[in-house]
Amino acid sequence: MTLEYLTYASIAVLVVLFLSSAIRILREYERGVIFTLGRFTGVKGPGLIILIPVVQQMVKADLRVMVQVVPPQDVISRDNVSVKVNAVLYFRIVDAERAIIKVGDYMAATSQLAQTTLRSVLGKHELDEMLAERDRLNADVQEILDQQTDAWGIKVTTVEIKDVDLNETMVRAIAKQAEAERLRRAKVINAMGEQQAAEKLVEAGRILSQQPQAMQLRYFAALHDVAGERSSTVVFPLPMDLLGHVTGRRSEAT
């Protein structure tokens, strides 16, 4: 009786071990790359997977979008400015077979490739472009990475440059440049205002010269403005035509 009980117990244990090693359950976002005696025989999942123990092995692949932080990279821009740039990489597996077979560690391989590509692409641009045209640089890095990781069955969906760190000397230089630019714009706007004012004065003088009555009205308005000021000294403007009449009479009298 004892021997029979041990036999049944041994069989039960073997059955449990067989089922535990043969049955696999994969989630919706997982795929299993199956190897039979070391040879690739297919990709299965999701759901219930039955394997032949010892003969078959399975390697899981996660199809979800993965996020990887690219550590800060020392980049020398095209105008010889040294900066530190870091980025965030979003990618996912689109072909589980190639991601497992074609590359030993796709996470490490993608990270190293992202670092070298980031330095290569940003080194072709000037500092102003790094600061002002991040969207275009993100698209350039993403396109290059996507082309190179396609052989691994990986799709790079997004690359985002997070920070472009400058040293204090360069920060002060950029601040001075921005201040100089604001002063230049202020001077240009002031000069344009003076130019427009001068053009309007010339146009007004041309109109007044064609209408003597308008010139007299302008003279009376100037007198009214001067008289309205609270001052002990009043200066009356003398029209040039009146001065001409006076000098003409003096010359006739002599």
pTM above 0.85, yes or no: no
Residues 162-181 have a mean pLDDT of 72
- pLDDT tens digits for range 228-253: 656 556 555 555 555 554 455 555 55
Q: Provide the CATH topology of domain 66-166.
A: Tetrahydropterin Synthase; Chain A (3.30.479)
Question: 35 with 41: CB under 8 angstroms?
Answer: yes
Name the DSSP letter for residue 125: S
- pLDDT tens digits for range 38-94: 899 999 989 998 888 888 999 999 999 999 999 998 888 888 888 889 999 999 999
Domain ranges of the chain: 2-62, 66-166, 211-253
For the chain, percent of residues with pLDDT exceeding 90: 37
Q: Would you state the pLDDT for residue 246? A: 46
Question: 232 with 223: CB under 8 angstroms?
Answer: no
Q: Would you state the pLDDT for residue 197? A: 82
Question: 154 with 99: CB under 8 angstroms?
Answer: yes
Q: Is the pLDDT of residue 202 over 60?
A: yes
What is the CB neighbour count within 10 angstroms for residue 204?
12
